[in-house]
Structure 1
């Protein structure tokens, strides 16, 4: 299963690069940070529909292309946008910070050279752990929390906010 997820991530990145080449503009990629091997649960799909709606509301007017992908890594939406890449990233970070489901939104913005814009490049701290609020990357790397604990917390957040 993990190989299928990794293959889907690679396909998505290739599609992002293809859109960058075709439109010569930044690409916004939105998906749900859902733990575990099953990225297509009812909860993940419900949260994705909300994310998709929010991104369409914010970017459709200033976009050349929108497409939705689905697979083993869950659903994602790709938007080739007329916004400057830093402006698009500010919108993305605002959604992640201010929406009730923002903790599980994963909205990346890719420059026209294919590189993602980091939160740090905007002077914004890295994402916090959904369980303990420490740096999420450290908790993931060290396995501070069980997979079930994280899945339960994410599902609780989704059920509470939809």
Structure 2
């Protein structure tokens, strides 16, 4: 558990470090994988897909940061026009069922995260039902085993 907390802190430090370079906006690319195994079979290919999509949407050839930690891989990609960038990232997150596991967080130049709510967009839905994901997580509506099973099912198309 400490390694997961350390990874979160290191990711935040990396984000703040990149923001010092003064980008107009950036995207923090990661996967949202339930359970202890944060890098199950198929996750590497899913992350690679998400990174390619993000780089193309940001007209970038490579990420500013690309790293791997206890939570899996992550990347930071420079972009512009944070609200429009967030809309493009939501499109990627909605491109196919497995993209529901992709987390594309957009930040403006001052480090403020641009959320779906600020753009009048609906929150992400739960992996298992039509309710907002954050509500299901907070209420612990679904057994973690079911969430993990759905995660593995979504990753199945990305397995070699």
TM over 0.5: yes
Partner deviation per Cα, 1:46-73 (whole Å, 9 max, x = no partner)? 2111111211222244x79522111001
**Deviation string for 1:72-123 (max 9, x for gaps)?**
0111110122x11111111101111223422111100111111211110010
**8 A Cα contact 2:42 2:157, kept in partner:** no
2:14 aligned partner: 15
Q: 2:86 & 2:134 partners in 1: Cα distance?
A: 20
Normalised by the length of structure 2, the TM-score is 0.90
* Aligned residue among 83, 107, 112 for 1:86: 83
Verify the 8 A CA contact 2:43 2:158 in the aligned structure 1.
no
Secondary structure of the 1:29 match is strand
User: CA RMSD, aligned part only?
Assistant: 1.8
Distance change in 2, residues 1:24/1:46 (3 Å): closer
Distance 1:65 1:34, change over 3 A: closer
**Aligned-partner SS, 2:69:** coil
Deviation at 1:27, TM superposition (A): 1.5
Divergent runs of 4+, >3 A: none
Name stretches of at least 5 consecutive residues in structure 2 with no aligned partner: none
Report how many aligned residue pairs link the two structures: 159
Q: Is the 8 A contact 2:128 2:150 kept in 1?
A: yes
Is the 2:47–2:73 Cα contact (8 Å) retained in structure 1?
yes
Asked whether the 8 Å contact 2:55–2:63 carries over to 1, the reply is no
Q: Secondary structure at the match of 2:42?
A: helix
* SS at structure 2 position matched to 1:42: coil
Whether the 8 Å CA contact 1:33–1:106 is kept in 2: the answer is yes
**1:158 deviation in Å?**
1.5
Q: Which runs of 5+ in 1 are unaligned?
A: none
Alignment-derived partner of residue 66 in structure 2: 68
CA distance in 1, matches of 2:126, 2:90: 16
